Amino acid sequence: MGRDAILKAIQKNKPSLIPLPEINLDAFEEPIDLLETFKEKVALVGGRIIALDAIKNIDSEIQKLYPNASKIISCIKESNLGTISISEKTNPHELEAVDLAIINGEFGVAENGAVWISEDNFPIRVLPFISNDLVIILNKEKLCSNLHEAYKLISERNRTFGLFISGPSKTADIEQCLVIGAQGAMSLTIILV
Amino acid sequence: MSHSKKAAIFNKDEAKVNWHDKALWYVREKRDNAAHGVKGWEYLRDTASKIKGNVLSNLDNYLIEFEANAIKNNIKVHWASNAEEHNKIVHKILEEHNAKNVVKSKSMLTEECHLNPFLEAKGIEVVDTDLGEYIVQIAEETPSHIVLPAIHKTKEEVDELFQEHLGTNPSNGNPEYLTNEARKHLLNKFIEADGAITGVNFAIAETGGIVVCTNEGNADMGAHLAPVHIACMGIEKIIPKEADLGVFLRLLARSATGQPITTYSSHFNKPAEGTEIHIVIVDNGRTEQLSREDFRSSLHCIRCGACMNTCPIYRRSGGHSYDATIPGPIGSILSPGKDLKKHSSLPFASTLCGSCSNVCPVKINIHEQLYKWRQIIVKEESQPVVKKSILKITGKVLGNRTLYNLVGKSARFMLKYAPRFMVYSKLNTWGKARELPEVKNENFDTWYKINRKNNG
């Protein structure tokens, strides 16, 4: 009912075809240090970034950062800090009181400090949002300059659910005062290895 | 009530107006900083505008492609010609899931369709979970800005509202405390929810997926905890390819708040095991706007709010003075297309300075469209007598050299020698809340002649 009427109205009212523009990506290219820019932007968006020499030091680093976390979900094999195990079958409501989640990130985007994470990195979709704090482990070689590059990197993925996450959840809805920690994770730490 | 009358009410509290003006200008400055940091920014805007131009010229095919791909991914697609159909569809889905407690993230479309009162009348609780929207919801108001819904409220007002509705302690409007109390309250709502409603920032024809952007994480908290996620979108939210998001996501948050990207840009392509995603595609006057050649490009809008932050009228009159779901410059070219009579004063709520068009990430010629609506409105809607007669007289004066010189001379004489009560009278709106400039003896014409002689 609505469908046909809408499509008919569009056919009647739309202008004649305007071609899609060719996008010249060279126009956006600039000589930047990917790692330095990424670090700078993560700080800008309220995140914390730590570079480690070796992945085996992850657990002691995380314990230093989050000494009070007791309900921990680790989705990476390199960490032994997990105290709760979850699978695809876990009821998302059971994650209400999770203190800390540790997940892998796929790659970072230098221009905006975002990291692409997807369902492949965490079995329950709500996890990176509902966990009080979030740690993302990222290979420091896996950085791209901007979102145009980023979309090339995810073009062949299995499309289920994924996101660019840039910093901790935040709001400025009360008199424009920036408050870190709105409805999602209160803090985001990116550990570069 | 006309925009100017409502703006006069907002202007009664001068300190608040000044704060509002400065707060929004600050956001505009943050936008400038962010934009200047991107190489090829103007080319980016240009590209976005061209992609949107292509979308509108091929919208039917893109919608069909989007639907087919979404269905392949187990997403259910619905179509609604108007607000009523939209509300009924959403209600039916909720009813099928026996949902009684619904959490909603920001969606200007559901505001436009007045979904909340519709669902509440059917016994369904709807909680707005964006902090700003939550504040206006408990205040029983509407958002006054599309990105900063509660920008018209002071922190002390929020403090009082929270004391009343959440039982918080008086905090003199401490933003951290208040935000954290809202977080705790809303977490319970997310956990209890049996249905989630979100808006859609972009719908991708090529993949059948949707992207939802928030800073707070509220859309994701709702969508991933509830068994059913209903995403509502206007037909113009379509973009052709996923790679086009590279263009639009680079523009959106920078234009909106000066952030390089929103905290969360979530890409939904398939429902999680055991849950459902429904997408409701809504027309509600958009195909009619598509038919108007002069106003068609208003459908390019990606709802960043930059035109509001920069507008000297918006900043000093507040979003509620527009009495429309979308306020500000973009709202003033969208709303007359929906109800010309009701919104006939909006295209006049502008100085036509063009700042809105200059910051628009998708290059809508907003100020030119405002001017074009004026041409239509003066023909179709009766204008106030004072405005009509003054414009008639102005036309005559400007068209006659002798008359123009005479009027100029007498105006200068009056400003210099007439008593204050006469100059600053009700007839002289330029004398409201401002001192008129000191009057020189000659006009520019005489000054120029004298100086040209003197300087050879």
Q: Of the residues B233, B258, B284, which one is the last residue of a structural domain?
A: B284
Last residue of a domain, one of B284, B313, B334: B284
Say which CATH class A32-192 falls into. alpha beta
Cα–Cα dist A71/A69, whole Å: 6
Measured CA to CA, the distance from residue A95 to residue B191 in angstroms comes to 10
Confirm or reject contact between B275 and chain A (CB < 8 A). Answer: no
What are the residue boundaries of the structural domains of chain A, listed by start?
Answer: 32-192
Tens digit of pLDDT for each residue in A1-27?
699 999 999 999 999 999 999 999 999
Measured in angstroms, the CA of A96 and the nearest CA of chain B are apart by 8
Residues B304 and B268 in one domain: no
Q: Which chain B residues are closer than 8 Å to A44 by Cβ?
A: 260
Pairwise CB contact (< 8 Å): A17 & B57: yes
Q: Is B150 on the interface with A (CB under 8 A)?
A: yes
Residue of chain A whose alpha carbon sits nearest to that of B39: A28
How far is A171 from B133, CA to CA, in rounded Å? 12
Is residue B282 helix, strand or coil?
strand
Domain count, chain B: 3
B154 touches chain A (CB under 8 A): yes
In chain A, residues with a C-beta closer than 8 Å to the C-beta of B185 are: none
Same domain, B95 and B205: yes
Whether B5 maps to a domain, the answer reads no
Query: What band does A43 get if pLDDT is binned at 50, 70 and 90?
Result: very high
| A180 confidence band (pLDDT: 50, 70, 90) | very high
E-only strand ranges, B41-157: 76-80, 101-104, 125-128
Co-location of B190 and B222 in the same domain? yes
Chain A hits for B39, CB-CB cut-off 8 Å, are 27-30
Q: How far is CA B300 from each of CA A15, B45, B290, rounded to the nearest angstrom?
A: 14, 12, 10
B264 with B394, same domain: the answer is no
Q: Is A33 on the interface with B (CB under 8 A)?
A: no
Answer yes or no: is B227 within a domain.
yes
At CB < 8 A and 24+ separation, what contacts does B64-70 make? Answer: B64/A7, B65/B205, B65/B206, B66/B203, B66/B204, B66/B205, B66/B208, B66/B238, B67/B208, B67/B281, B68/B208, B69/B205, B69/B206, B69/B207, B69/B208, B69/B209, B70/B208, B70/B209, B70/B279
Residue of A nearest to B146 (CA): A173
Question: Is B217's CB within 8 Å of A160's CB?
Answer: no
Per-residue pLDDT 10s for chain B (456 aa) are: 899 999 999 999 999 999 999 999 999 999 999 999 999 999 999 999 999 999 999 999 999 999 999 999 999 999 999 999 999 999 999 999 999 999 999 899 999 999 999 999 999 999 999 999 999 999 999 999 999 999 999 999 999 999 999 999 999 999 999 999 999 999 999 999 999 999 999 999 999 999 999 999 999 999 999 999 999 999 999 999 999 999 999 999 999 999 999 999 999 999 999 999 999 999 999 999 999 999 999 999 999 999 999 999 999 999 999 999 999 999 999 999 999 999 999 999 999 999 999 999 999 999 999 999 999 999 988 777 777 787 788 888 888 888 888 888 888 887 778 878 777 777 777 777 778 877 777 788 888 888 887 775
CB contacts < 8 A, A to B, total 253
Task: State which residues form the domain around B439.
Answer: 389-455
Say what the ipTM of the complex is. 0.98
Interface contact A166-B266, CB threshold 8 A: no
Positive or negative, the Cα torsion across B122, B125, B131, B136?
A: positive
Residue B64 contacts A where some CB pair is shorter than 8 Å: yes
**Probe site for chain B from A24, A166, A174 (most B CB atoms < 10 A):** A174
Q: Assess if residue B101 is contained within a domain.
A: yes
In a domain, B362, yes or no: yes
**Nearest-CA distance from B342 to chain A in Å?**
24
| Same domain (yes/no): B275, B328 | no
Is residue B274 domain-shared with residue B312, that is, in the same domain? no
Cβ separation of B183 and A182 shorter than 8 Å?
yes
Cβ B260–A41 below 8 Å, yes or no? yes
* Same domain flag for B215 and B311: no
B43 shares its domain with B113: yes
Residue B117 included in any domain: yes
Q: Are residues B110 and B239 in the same domain?
A: yes
**CATH number reported for the structural domain that contains residue B258 in this entry:** 3.40.50.10420
- Beta carbons of A96 and B187 less than 8 Å apart: yes
pLDDT reported for residue B401: 85
Are B375 and B400 in the same domain? no
User: Which domain-ending residue is among B284, B311, B329?
Assistant: B284
Pair B363, B393 in one domain? no
Instruction: Using CB atoms, pick whichever of A2, A45, A165 lies closest to residue B260.
Output: A45
Residues B121 and B233 in one domain: yes
Cβ-based contacts of A129 with chain B (< 8 Å): 217, 220-221, 224, 264
- Residue A189 confidence class, pLDDT cut points 50, 70, 90: very high
At A46-58, the pLDDT tens digits run 999 999 988 888 9
